[in-house]
């Protein structure tokens, strides 16, 4: 649980740092973000960018969860408890797919490699892209929900285990749904731009510098519509939700592992279960 507590502390500190540096420029430290590559002088881009420290920590949490699930599956299979083995195997499968998606951007590569040639030279329509990503996350959700259904039907889990899994699933589900529908009605751009104009940011030099960089990018790529607000949502908000979901999933998995270890009364085997 040290990794879970440390990740939660990291998330809290990074948000406080972004508020202090990027929004209020306390102590005049904001300029330090300029030393981070491709940060556009904004600390939140440095911390929450693609393959940045926040995402790497998320990969670490997911990978640890996969290892715990595989260990649980091995132990359950070794003692002949097929119910527990099936639960852990499904969790390991779903968590592995989540790790591959976050680290390798599977759905984005599918969009570029499969969908883009269909509509080339035009960009992939928002409807088609959203439908594909929603389907992808739906399949992943079904894989992750399957062990919960087995858990409820064939065991007697504690309220603590169910609550921890429920909260973790809800947070990660929110992040996944937000990501899948981020282009619908320019949701991320509209909401992110609203945040930028609402908070005391717009007139600050570092924000003006970032806006200028976005404008230059749009001039070179007329088909590009993503705004600075889009990246605020896509990086800081979405990555924070995913990190929170990953640490809650790890905590829930630890609780589940402890519950199965301490539960001395084994449920009937799936192969012998008569309904």
Residue 48 to residue 38: CA distance in whole angstroms: 12
For the record, the structure tokens of 205 come out as 């030099």
Name the range with the highest mean pLDDT among 29-38, 203-212, 263-272: 203-212
Q: How confident is the model at residue 101 (pLDDT cuts 50, 70, 90)?
A: very high
Percent of residues, the chain, with pLDDT higher than 90:
68
What was the pLDDT predicted at 264?
A: 43
What was the pLDDT predicted at 33?
A: 67
Q: What is the mean pLDDT of residues 142-153?
A: 94
What was the pLDDT predicted at 111?
A: 94
């Amino acid at each position: 649980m040290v990794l879970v507590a440390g990740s939660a502390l990291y998330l809290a500190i990074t948000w406080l740092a972004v508020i202090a540096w990027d929004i209020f420029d306390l102590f005049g430290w904001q300029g330090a973000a300029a030393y981070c590559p491709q940060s556009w002088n904004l600390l939140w881009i440095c911390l929450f960018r693609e393959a940045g420290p926040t995402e790497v920590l998320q990969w670490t949490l997911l990978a640890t969860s996969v290892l715990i699930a595989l260990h649980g599956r091995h132990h359950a299979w070794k003692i002949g408890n097929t119910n527990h083995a099936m639960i852990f195997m499904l969790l390991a499968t779903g968590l592995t797919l989540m790790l591959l998606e976050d680290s390798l951007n599977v759905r984005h590569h599918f969009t570029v490699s499969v969908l883009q040639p269909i509509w080339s030279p035009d960009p992939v329509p928002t409807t088609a892209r959203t439908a594909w990503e929603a389907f992808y996350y739906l399949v992943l959700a079904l894989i992750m929900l399957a062990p919960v259904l087995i858990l409820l039907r064939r065991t007697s889990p504690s309220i603590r285990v169910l609550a921890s899994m429920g909260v973790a699933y809800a947070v990660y589900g929110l992040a996944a749904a937000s990501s899948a529908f981020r282009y619908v009605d320019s949701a991320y751009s509209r909401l992110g731009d609203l945040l930028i104009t609402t908070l005391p940011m717009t007139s600050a030099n570092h924000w003006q510098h970032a806006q200028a960089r976005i404008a230059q990018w749009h001039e070179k790529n007329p088909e590009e519509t993503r705004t600075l607000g889009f990246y605020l949502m896509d990086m800081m908000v979405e990555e924070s939700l995913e990190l929170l979901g990953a640490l809650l999933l790890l905590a829930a998995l630890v609780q589940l592992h402890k519950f199965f270890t301490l539960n001395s009364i084994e449920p009937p085997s799936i192969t012998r279960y008569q309904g």
